[in-house]
Amino acid sequence: MGLYVIRRLLSAIPTLFLIVTISFFLIRVAPGGPFDLERPLEAKVMENLRKIYQLDQPLWYQYWLYLSALMRGDLGPSFYFRDFTIGELFARGLPISMRLGFTALLLAVVVGGTLGVIAAFRQNQPTDYAVVGLATFGITVPTFVVAPILQIVFGLTLSWFPVGGWNDGAVRNTVLPILTLALPQVAVVARMTRAAMIEVLRSNHVRTLRANGLPLPVIVRHALRGAALPVVSYLGPAAAALLTGSVVVETIFGIPGIGRYFVEGALNRDYTLVMGTVIVIAIFVLVFNLLVDLVYALIDPRVRYE
């Protein structure tokens, strides 16, 4: 297992290198620049700014400078937030995004998994139809529709929660963003758990357990072990996406996470901010894909990485 982890980590290096290279040149060839304003700056001021940020150098040399800084763990200065480096922005924004994403993911696993198990044990009954209907609704309705509805109902109409803002992470300010993030994931996990549980419940070993009259908790525990594999596969990339911030949710609710930074960086051609966000997301995806493979081996004894 240890050698497998080392091989996977080593293979992630060229993957990350390709992602950095492609992203660097794509954003640099896009129209516009970080200092292009509606009222153009004076030629001398523009020249000085380009010299300060080394944008006057050839593109290949800028790429070399960026890679050299990246090897030292330096993501560079922000072109838009001029008083901050990318590392400082992420040190402030990433914990916020991770807090919201982790809570939403935990809620999705607990609620979605429970609903999926209940629906599987009551297949083709009203409970099953209700879970499938709610899950289908949760999957089809996008977050940019769910968020304003929650703001109108629970924020403006009932005045239970604020409609936006972070307020240093107060619980009341996190409820609506977490619900918005969790609802689609709850729906997906519920449907996947239901489908996997139905298949496992029809397997020979579970039918034998039920025929021997074992209590329901024992049957659920054995069935969940087999039904968890497809859900774990989905939770890997889902966790990477949630923990690195949601562009839509953080923008609508005014949350200073890195998802919102990505939008502002793209709109303002902040090269280093966009690159930093891409790198962080790529690292999370690579790490969670590795974790999914390791969890596979823990859940299914037939999986071995020797």
List the domain range (segments joined by +) for residue 148: 90-299
* Any domain includes 285: yes
* Any domain includes 136: yes
* Any domain includes 245: yes
* Any domain includes 77: no
Residues in the chain: 306
18's CB contacts (< 8 A; 6+ apart) are none
Indicate the helix (H) or strand (E) that contains 271.
helix 271-299
In this structure, is the dihedral angle defined by the CA atoms of residues 114, 118, 119 and 120, taken in order, positive or negative?
positive
Distance CA 163, CA 159 (A): 9
* Any domain includes 55: no
62's CB contacts (< 8 A; 6+ apart) are 28, 54, 55
Q: What is the pLDDT of residue 212?
A: 62
DSSP one-letter code for 167 = G
* Any domain includes 32: no
Q: What is the pLDDT of residue 141?
A: 82
Q: What is the pLDDT of residue 140?
A: 84
Q: What is the pLDDT of residue 59?
A: 78
Q: What is the pLDDT of residue 116?
A: 85
Quote the tokens at residue 232: 């774990």
* Any domain includes 14: no
User: Which residues of the chain are modeled with pLDDT < 50?
Assistant: none
* Any domain includes 262: yes
Number of domains in the chain: 1
Q: What is the pLDDT of residue 301?
A: 61
CATH of the domain at 264: 1.10.3720.10
Q: What is the pLDDT of residue 281?
A: 85
pTM equals 0.80
